[in-house]
Structure 1
């Protein structure tokens, strides 16, 4: 069985993004293979933990991937402030006589955005709505790389390292079986410190905001890397409650067309033809300028425009998401009219410093929380979704009452369809099959 087959059998998807099946992504030949260890979002530390404690495994996996896809350049991107992680990787690179190079970046947001990282490493701009393959590169998250190493040992994806931070008694990086309830993870971390709270699944900029009630049935999946707990009245939780009509009215009454949102847009800075201030103007004045509105389709939804750049605290990102949805419903697709993209000459001066962003987000009190490490969870029950990433869901290959072992295949992708297999994350008995497979521990 070759490496791609092992990856497919293990059910590996992108661990830090939308969850694209990795065996499909790596079925290519490229010049650059880039590992994203930049932990794009503020406060998150799971990638740091893996690079610091699993550097040998990461280096070995990158070497094998490089051979499989014929990459001339193997690069691990991480922040220059990650001193322990840099040293661990350097030691492993020397130990295995690897040709991997480290690309060290300033701490700015969104340094871990795939298109930004490719530009930083290669100097090449991926076309709008394109993928790294368009410029001879492939990017994988450090968690994905660790999963690939385990696939090389014939182990399936059964757990996630999750950063739990904020209003919890014991902020931690926890090893969590896939399908474990979020509430159980919080309990493992000593419980929540405030009665009324909100949750962000992922990072503060692009993560999914959820109320205390909404997390009742939420479980950890292959793409979850963090849980941030905030007071219910926190600035980030309050912003999420605004309706799109209220946001549109704000744009009409308060947008001053300063174009800071455009000046600081990470995609605009690498040469993409996106101008959030023009989209805001078109919405505010009801211009319905289709050529302008179509620019929303290449927004990466990083949130710099509304969470950092806008002096009026408006919501260009939410407007872009709204417009993007309308255009997709109408069947409109983005089409590039040129293959030449010129980065902004002021780009280096317009990068958003992570520390300043954290302060702007009112998250300073959590920045220096000391995270406990090495803890694992042994849940009494898990509920493993049959679909966890991009593509088709899986078909159960087990029945209620069956006894399964950790790592055993329980959901398989139909032949010819794109998706990723799912596996039991604990030893136990199948108790329920719906859109998830419930397993009760033995």
Structure 2
């Protein structure tokens, strides 16, 4: 069984983003392999932990993946300020004589970890609008994905996740939990919340999922979740993202002053893409059928336009998301050649400044306690933890499974991945959304 087959069998997906099936991404040829160790969003620390604790495993996986795709250049991109992590990587690179792995050190700005921004920073090549890095000869992969790929080659499926739990918790820390562990159990493992009326951000504060009330009770950890940030319910980020689309549209029609700052700071616009959010906001006010609205399809939803740039407190990102879902016709660029904006280097947003804008700076550089492996008695494992089709359940309710056993198989001929049991347990509930497991001694017959 080759590396692609083993990664597919283990159910590896992109650990730092939308969950693209890794066996599909790595089944190609590319000139560059770029490793994303930049931890894109403010406050996140899980990738730093992985680089410190599993540098040898990650670097071994890099060598295997680079050989598989025929990469001529291997570039490990991370931030200059990650001095401990860089030292760990350099130590293994020297010991193993990995001379062909180049470290590329970046300033701390947002969104440094966006894969298209990484491609431009490292190669000065611009990924086409609506395209992928492979179109310019590049594969970008996250350190968490590489760690899982290393384990896959050792015949270990993806069953657990390392998660940073921080913010308004008594004991901020990295935890290792079985997939399907409830967010509430994760918060409890970090000593519980310091406040009663709290909300949760799963992922980063710019692009993560915001949860309040009963949403918190239902949420579980998936293959793509790397952080839980507990914040006050009235935090700026939470309030902004809970607006209805009608309120957002009415507010935009009434208050947009066409200052164009949303466009001038847009990372896609700055690498030459034909995306101008201020024009979309103008079209929203006058003509929702305007041709310019198709540009919304190439928005990366980084949130800079609404959480940093707009002086009127409007939400161009959420407007773009609205039109992404509404307009089915594919965006087609009118540009023959893409060229980065000459002011790009002067419009990079320092991460610390972005964190302060979000009213989250009190949690910046929050010290995390020693890693804790969390044992739980019940998990709810989603059948869809990735881009593409849900996995297909292939057992029966009541079946007893071992940790690592295949629960649901990747759907054939589609972007799908295998799902494995994360506990030694019994299947107690099944539907088209998830499989619930309970430890055998917890099941009441």
Instruction: State the TM-score, normalized to the length of structure 1.
Output: 0.97
Shift of 1:253: 2.1
Q: CA separation in 1, counterparts of 2:242 and 2:180?
A: 28
User: In structure 2, what is the equivalent of residue 153 of structure 1?
Assistant: 154
User: In structure 1, what is the equivalent of residue 193 of structure 2?
Assistant: 192
Poorly superposed stretches of 4+, deviation over 3 Å:
none
User: Where do 1:305-324 residues align within 5 Å?
Assistant: 305-324=305-324
SS at match of 2:231: strand
User: In structure 1, what is the equivalent of residue 257 of structure 2?
Assistant: 256
Gaps of 5+ in 2: 441-445
RMSD over aligned CA atoms reads: 1.2
- Answering whether residue 344 of structure 2 is matched by residue 347 of structure 1, we say yes
User: In structure 2, what is the equivalent of residue 120 of structure 1?
Assistant: 121
User: In structure 2, what is the equivalent of residue 132 of structure 1?
Assistant: 133
User: In structure 1, what is the equivalent of residue 19 of structure 2?
Assistant: 19
Q: CA separation in 1, counterparts of 2:92 and 2:233?
A: 43
Shift of 1:24: 0.7
User: In structure 1, what is the equivalent of residue 387 of structure 2?
Assistant: 390
Q: CA separation in 2, counterparts of 1:360 and 1:414?
A: 43
CA gap 1:380/1:321 in 2 versus in 1, 3 angstroms: same
Deviates more, 1:417-426 or 1:130-139: 417-426
User: In structure 1, what is the equivalent of residue 104 of structure 2?
Assistant: 103
CA deviation digits over 1:257-296, x for unaligned, max 9? 1111111100000000111111111112x13462211111
Shift of 1:234: 1.3
User: In structure 2, what is the equivalent of residue 91 of structure 1?
Assistant: 91
| Residue pair 1:199, 1:212 contacting (<8 A) in 2 also | no
| Residue pair 1:182, 1:218 contacting (<8 A) in 2 also | yes
- Answering whether residue 61 of structure 2 is matched by residue 64 of structure 1, we say no
User: Where do 1:207-356 residues align within 5 Å?
Assistant: 207-284=208-285, 286-288=286-288, 290-328=290-328, 332-356=329-353
Q: How many residues align?
A: 438
User: In structure 2, what is the equivalent of residue 53 of structure 1?
Assistant: 53
Q: CA separation in 1, counterparts of 2:74 and 2:384?
A: 31
Q: CA separation in 2, counterparts of 1:169 and 1:237?
A: 21
| Residue pair 1:262, 1:268 contacting (<8 A) in 2 also | yes
SS at match of 1:239: helix
Deviates more, 1:112-121 or 1:401-410: 401-410
Q: CA separation in 2, counterparts of 1:237 and 1:223?
A: 21
Q: CA separation in 2, counterparts of 1:241 and 1:131?
A: 31
Q: CA separation in 1, counterparts of 2:415 and 2:361?
A: 42
Shift of 1:433: 2.0
Shift of 1:396: 2.0
Q: CA separation in 2, counterparts of 1:232 and 1:415?
A: 42
Q: CA separation in 1, counterparts of 2:360 and 2:403?
A: 38
Shift of 1:416: 2.6
| Residue pair 2:35, 2:75 contacting (<8 A) in 1 also | yes
SS at match of 1:104: strand
Shift of 1:417: 3.0
Instruction: State the TM-score, normalized to the length of structure 2.
Output: 0.96
Shift of 1:32: 0.5
SS at match of 2:291: helix
Shift of 1:104: 0.8
Q: CA separation in 2, counterparts of 1:289 and 1:421?
A: 41
Shift of 1:364: 1.1
Q: CA separation in 1, counterparts of 2:217 and 2:343?
A: 46
CA deviation digits over 1:36-62, x for unaligned, max 9? 111111000000000111000000000
Q: CA separation in 2, counterparts of 1:46 and 1:265?
A: 26
The match for 1:411 among 408, 412, 432 is 408
| Residue pair 1:127, 1:339 contacting (<8 A) in 2 also | no
SS at match of 1:216: helix
Shift of 1:251: 1.7
SS at match of 2:206: coil
CA deviation digits over 1:342-398, x for unaligned, max 9? 101111110010000001110011113211132011101111112211112122232
Q: CA separation in 2, counterparts of 1:69 and 1:355?
A: 36
